[in-house]
Amino acid sequence: MKDIRIIIVGFGIIGRGVAETLVWKRQFFRSRLGVNVVVSAVCEVSGCLVPPGGVDLEKALSTPLPKIEGWKDAKTKDVIRETEADVVVELTPGNIQSGEPGLSHILGSLAAGKHVVTSNKAPLAVAYRRIMEEAAKKERRVRFEATVGGAIPIMNLMEYCLQANEVSHAYGILNGTTNYILSKMAEDGVSLESALKEAQDLGYAEPDPKYDIEGVDSAAKVVILANALLGKDVSYKDMKVTGIREITPESVELAKKHGYVVKLVGDVVRQDVSPRLVPISHPLNVSGSLNALMLNTDIAGDITLIGRGAGARETSSSILSDILAIASRI
């Protein structure tokens, strides 16, 4: 059995989701995959948990971190540099303008000779090239499956399953909140405000849903796909972004009459995010909060993937996939 030592940076919904899955699937990882994931440290804004023998995840999930032995009033960047580990798992929320604090965490991890797995879109949407050049220089890997499409494998799919192929186009529905709202509007004929309210009540939408509604979240994902799948060198500022704010029940109804649905589509070639008419029978017409991505490949043809674009447990599937991929090469 192989040990892989990780530092978890960010212990919010996603970080705790990863920890829960690690506890839940510990035996499966050991017996079926031959991998033992050891958590060397957990970092938060207020300090870091760095117990000498590694983090007891059950305890970390049930007790406030500052009450656990090994809690230090230390800075994340110092713990990243000083703690022995193979992979830094960066799961903080990011600022789409600066990419921080994730960008510094990622660059600091690479500088310290550590691999990186992240669910944080912002650093990659701001500085994809810079991060990848730094990783190449240090011969370390930065993996980011969870940044786009939540549980849906995209980058790993291309690298491990469609590796003979080149992608010429990728487009799809990359934000579950707006898809839930548009689906509700189409199915129940309600207004955007009313559908949004419902999404908020169900926990699909943030109290401040601006990033979703205005297409910012989708656009950051398109930037990542454009760089990762098409080898482009683009960042968030190169995107044309139109959200769903102006979509009325009348326009949704009119589309429906003509056999279409309105979907917020991100497009890697056009480098835009905008509401589009999608034929009802098209594979991208997925309802509820699902995400869907269509890849145009040169050998395999079109491949469409549909799955959960969010959720702590679902997203942990992608994060763990990246960790395991690094483990298989260590």
Q: Which residues are catalytic?
A: 221
Closest to 24 in 3D by CA, of 51, 54, 66, 61: 61
What are residue 291's DSSP bridge partners? 307
- Report if residue 1 touches its own copies, rule: CB under 8 A: no
Q: Which of 163, 193, 246, 250 binds its own copies (CB under 8 A)?
A: 163
Closest to 3 in 3D by CA, of 224, 263, 326: 326
Give the dihedral of Cα atoms 144, 308, 321, 221; nearest 10 deg.
Answer: -10
Binders of its own copies among residues 165 to 184 (CB under 8 A) are 165-166
- Report if residue 330 touches its own copies, rule: CB under 8 A: no
CA dihedral (8, 209, 104, 273) positive or negative: positive
- Report if residue 317 touches its own copies, rule: CB under 8 A: yes
Angle between the 102-111 and 121-138 helix axes, to the nearest 10 degrees?
10
- Report if residue 78 touches its own copies, rule: CB under 8 A: no
Say if residues 212 and 104 touch (Cβ distance below 8 Å): no
Residue type, position 169, single letter: H
- Report if residue 318 touches its own copies, rule: CB under 8 A: yes
CB of 58 to its own copies, least distance (A): 18
Q: What would you measure as the largest C-alpha separation in the chain, in angstroms?
A: 64
CB of 241 to its own copies, least distance (A): 27
The H or E element containing residue 8 is: strand 2-9
- Classify 303 as helix, strand or coil: strand
Stretch that binds its own copies, among 91-99, 189-197, 213-221, 278-286 (CB under 8 A): 278-286
Residue matched to tokens 């080149």: 166
Q: Which of 239, 243, 321, 326 binds its own copies (CB under 8 A)?
A: 321
Q: Which residues contact 152 (CB under 8 A, 6 or more apart)?
A: 291, 293, 305, 306, 307, 308, 309, 318
What are residue 279's DSSP bridge partners? 260
- Report if residue 68 touches its own copies, rule: CB under 8 A: no
- Report if residue 302 touches its own copies, rule: CB under 8 A: yes
Binding mask 21-40 for its own copies (x = CB under 8 A): x---x--xx---x-------
Residue 24: DSSP 8-state:
H
Nearer to its own copies by Cβ, of 104 and 296: the residue is 296
Q: Which of 90, 108, 316, 326 binds its own copies (CB under 8 A)?
A: 316
Q: Which of 115, 305, 326, 330 binds its own copies (CB under 8 A)?
A: 305
Nearer to its own copies by Cβ, of 82 and 166: the residue is 166
Binding mask 132-161 for its own copies (x = CB under 8 A): -------------x-----xxx--xx--xx
* Contact footprint for its own copies (CB under 8 A): 21, 25, 28-29, 33, 145, 151-153, 156-157, 160-166, 280-281, 283, 285-287, 290, 297, 299-308, 311, 313-314, 316-318, 320-321, 324-325
